[in-house]
Structure 1
């Protein structure tokens, strides 16, 4: 009995290459990393060492002096939740056209939201202020600003103790963070600044604005979002290359 000749049959089997396996591993690790970052950033701020904070700006006083109107955006502050207390960081970002200007006074129209004032908390720069409960009137503040706390730069040494460009003054108070931020938003709590050494030896005053407060993003939230976008772009490019190669 003759054996039948067997016809060769060619079967193509697509075997995953090492590169595709590595890409799969990368994908799994990337997804796991994004999930971990998202979970951590969604945790309470206190659980991951991040304190809630809100940023505020200052505005010109309507009807007041005008020499410093162009420099209002150089001054700002944020409020940081410290549990039973709140920390105000007062910033002077500086301006090249008024490089000598400095904040000489910081005043609070409080209405009962703050107590137990402490000055010079983690200052940045050559800054030193003295003050506490007081009624030192804000220049140009008028009847719309009643001072409850007043802080002035230390005397001696010229202007060096004021808040110069790039420097920060820290002021701490006992207070409830949520209530303080809400009061700043409505204007029930206001801050006032007196700025000196403007061009031509002028000075001006500013009051905290209620129109453009913003929550400070938590760093891990921004990291997780950035990672997700980056990984998504990477996977799309790899998928497009794989489809063209098939």
Structure 2
């Protein structure tokens, strides 16, 4: 048998040390923490209470006045499940070109989905009173019949109205799922009367049937965020390992 020349082969074996194991654990915890923060940050304001919630917008009234048509997207509301009652949070996000506008009245065309006012959540800048009423929404016409109406308290100019960046909470006895379904199919409607538009004009709006935002379950959001975070981490580690080969 002829002799064979032996080739020297250098092998590098990377052993997972205790330090690297600890680093991996730290990375996992860090990703989980980031995912949790991301999930909470991505949630709408109404979701912070962890109760089921849905958000809706307002739209212009077809054939009605037009001074406020450009500002319809400044108004919205959340519906939050409170067990035996539902909370409506009505928002005025404001608009730089109509900085003085404010919501002076809120109307509900109910059709028996709400059985009574549970609470009016006033604060130092917003104060409303009202309840069961047949007061009519300006421009509402035959398509809107008022069952509940709420008006800003008088005095101090427009102070008590819902101005830019402010909110009014109205709680009613009712079933959350039925209320959201009724809002989506139009059998339950909200109306707004807005004053102090440019030129001293006013206008009215009716709730849209589009459910613009359904709040995900908090644990589902966390799991989704964690999955994305872990995927990104392991993809980065794989790329680094392939680069070092």
How far apart are the structure 1 equivalents of 2:168 and 2:178? 22
C-alpha distance after superposition, 1:102-129 (max 9, x if no partner) = 00000000010102214432x4660000
Aligned residue runs from structure 1 range 105-124, under 5 A: 105-121=105-121, 123=122
Whether the 8 Å CA contact 1:30–1:231 is kept in 2: the answer is no
TM value normalised by structure 2? 0.83
How far apart are the structure 1 equivalents of 2:161 and 2:139? 20
How far apart are the structure 2 equivalents of 1:26 and 1:235? 14
Hey, what does 1:68 align to over in structure 2?
68
C-alpha distance after superposition, 1:74-127 (max 9, x if no partner) = 000010000000000000000000000000000000010102214432x46600
CA shift for structure 1 position 27: 6.5
Hey, what does 1:54 align to over in structure 2?
54
Hey, what does 1:44 align to over in structure 2?
none
Hey, what does 1:99 align to over in structure 2?
99
Hey, what does 1:224 align to over in structure 2?
223
Hey, what does 1:240 align to over in structure 2?
239
CA shift for structure 1 position 12: 4.8
Aligned residue runs from structure 1 range 133-152, under 5 A: 133-152=132-151
Whether the 8 Å CA contact 2:57–2:207 is kept in 1: the answer is yes
Whether the 8 Å CA contact 1:109–1:189 is kept in 2: the answer is yes
Larger mean CA deviation between 151-160 and 216-225 belongs to 216-225
Whether the 8 Å CA contact 1:119–1:131 is kept in 2: the answer is no
How far apart are the structure 1 equivalents of 2:12 and 2:206? 74
Whether the 8 Å CA contact 1:110–1:188 is kept in 2: the answer is yes
TM value normalised by structure 1? 0.83
CA shift for structure 1 position 225: 2.2
CA RMSD of aligned residues (A): 2.7
CA shift for structure 1 position 219: 4.7
CA shift for structure 1 position 188: 0.5
CA shift for structure 1 position 218: 4.1
How far apart are the structure 2 equivalents of 1:235 and 1:142? 60
Hey, what does 2:81 align to over in structure 1?
81
* Shift in alpha-carbon separation, 1:118–1:162, aligned structure 2, 3 A: farther
How far apart are the structure 1 equivalents of 2:167 and 2:219? 25
Hey, what does 1:197 align to over in structure 2?
196
Gaps of 5+ in 1: 1-6, 42-47
How far apart are the structure 2 equivalents of 1:225 and 1:169? 33
